Structure 1
C-alpha cells in the first residue's frame, strides 16, 4: 500500500515541481472583478501580480471545498493508497477543515490529516520534509508521530516591501501607511500559533534581511542547516541577494527557491522576500 502526499496550492511549490514527485495539490481560488481564477492552474504568478498591480481593489480568495477533497481522496483510496494531507493553517483558511469534512464523509482510517499551522513557503518546506519521510520508507503511523514536532518547529519570516495591500485589506490605516512609506518601514511577518504576526519593523530592505539572518543564526549557532526555503513575491533579485548572504554565513544542505503565489500574495503584496526553516 503506497502513501499519497496531498497539500494545497498555498504551499507555493510549483505544479511542475510537485508533479515530478507525485505530490498532489488542491487549488484555492482567487476572485478578481473580471472573474474567478484557479490558483496555479489558470493563473500564473506573473499574471496574478500584473492583474493585482492594475486593480484598484484587492482580489479575494476562497478555500478548497469538501467536495473537491472528497473526489481527490476517493480516487487515491480506490487505487489502494493511504493519504497524508498537510494544509494551510486552519487559523488562516477553512481548507484544512474542508479536508476533515471530506475524510468524515468517506469514513476512512486510511486518511491522515495535518494542520500545518503555517503558510506559503513554510508549508512547502513541511511538504518536502514529509515527502522525504515517505521516500525513506516510513509508514503513515511513523510519519504522523513526527508531525507535532514538525508543526511546532516550523519558522517563517517574510519581509514586506509594500504596505498598500495591508491598507487595501483594511489592516492598516491611511495615516500609518503614509508614515510607513515615508520612513521606509519594512514589516517582517511570521506565523505563530497558526496566525500571522509582525515580528519586526526594519528601516529598509538591507536591515530587514540582516535581521532575518540574525534570527536564523540564533536558531543555528553552528551555522549548519539541513534545509531552508527562500521565497519571493515577484522580487527575484532581492531573493538572490538574500541567498548570497545566507550562503556566506551558513552551510546549507538543501535550498528550495519558492515564488509566493496568488493566494498569499493577495495579502502580502509584491516584493516580499523571506525564509522558512525548522528550528
Structure 2
C-alpha cells in the first residue's frame, strides 16, 4: 500500500526535511488587519514582527477550511492509496475537526490530532514516515500508533518577551509589568492538548535558556535519544544557537539534533526569541 504522510503548516518542519521525506503541507491562514494570508507563502514570521513593531494590530490564525482539506486530500489520492494527516491540537484550532469532515467525504484519509503543536507535530510526522517505509502497518494502524506515541511527547518553549502574549490577550498588563520588572521568562508547556505556563525563570535570557535545557534533560533516563528538535522563532545569533545545541548534546546522547524555525502560528503568539526543545520520552 502506498501511504502518504502530510501535515498542517503548524508542524514547523524545515523545507529540507519536508523535501527529504516527501511530506505534503496544508497551510493555515494568518489574518492581518482583516486580510487572510497563506501561512509561509503570503506572510512570514519576520513580516508579522515588523507589522506589530510598527504599531499594527496582532495577527491571528485561521484554520484550514473543510473545502481546502477536501481538495487537498483528493489531489493526494491521485497517486497514493491512503493519507495520514497530522494537525495541531484540536483544543487550539478547528483544523482537526474540519479535516475529519473532509476525510469522511473523501475516504481513505486518516486525520491525527497531535494534541501538540510545532515540531511536536513534526516528531509524529517523522515517526509516521518511518513506519510507511517499513511497510508493516496500514494507514489506519499508523494513525492509531501515532495517537499512542503522542502521549510520550515533551513540548515546551521559553519566551523572552511577553508583549506578544500580552497583545494577544494571553497575559495581563499587570503580569507583563511584573515579569518585565523581575526579568522573568516563562516556560510555555503543552499538556493535555493545551498551552499552559510552567516554571518562570529569572535573569538574562540565554542563562535562563541554558537552565531550562539542563532541568529538562540532565540526568533523565526516560528520554528517547533518537531525535530532538531545537525550534526557535528568530532573532538569535549563531553563537547563541551554538550554545543551546552544545548544552543539549552535553546532557543526552541524541542521534539527531534538528534545528528548525517556528512558523507563523507559534511566532504570532510568542514573538521573536522564543525557543523550545521538543522530544519523546520512552515511557
Contact 1:12 1:121 (8 Å CA) reproduced = yes
Contact 2:154 2:280 (8 Å CA) reproduced = yes
RMSD: 1.9
- Say whether 1:171 aligns with 2:170: yes
Q: TM-score if structure 2 supplies the norm length?
A: 0.90
Could you say which residue in structure 2 is the equivalent of 1:191?
190
Summarize the alignment of residues 77-226 of structure 1 with structure 2, pairs less than 5 Å apart: 77-106=77-106, 108=107, 110-139=108-137, 140-204=139-203, 205=205, 206-217=207-218, 220-221=220-221, 225-226=225-226
- Say whether 1:6 aligns with 2:3: no
Instruction: For structure 2, list consecutive stretches of 5 or more residues without a partner in the other structure.
Output: none
Q: Structure 1 residue 37: deviation in Å? A: 1.8
Instruction: For structure 1, list consecutive stretches of 5 or more residues without a partner in the other structure.
Output: none
- Tell me which stretches of 4 or more aligned residues in structure 1 moved more than 4 Å: none
- Say whether 1:246 aligns with 2:248: yes
Secondary structure of the structure 1 residue equivalent to 2:42: coil
Q: Structure 1, residues 57-80: CA drift from partner, whole Å, max 9, x if none?
A: 211110100111101111222324
Q: Structure 1 residue 223: deviation in Å? A: 7.4
- Paired residues, what number? 276
**More displaced 10-residue stretch of structure 1: 85-94 or 12-21:** 12-21
Q: TM-score if structure 1 supplies the norm length?
A: 0.92
Secondary structure of the structure 1 residue equivalent to 2:136: coil
The whole-number CA distance in structure 2 between the counterparts of 1:17 and 1:223 is 23
The whole-number CA distance in structure 1 between the counterparts of 2:150 and 2:61 is 24
Q: Structure 1 residue 131: deviation in Å? A: 1.4
Contact 1:117 1:194 (8 Å CA) reproduced = yes
- Say whether 1:64 aligns with 2:64: yes
Secondary structure of the structure 1 residue equivalent to 2:254: strand
The whole-number CA distance in structure 2 between the counterparts of 1:3 and 1:236 is 38
Contact 2:224 2:280 (8 Å CA) reproduced = no
Could you say which residue in structure 1 is the equivalent of 2:33?
33
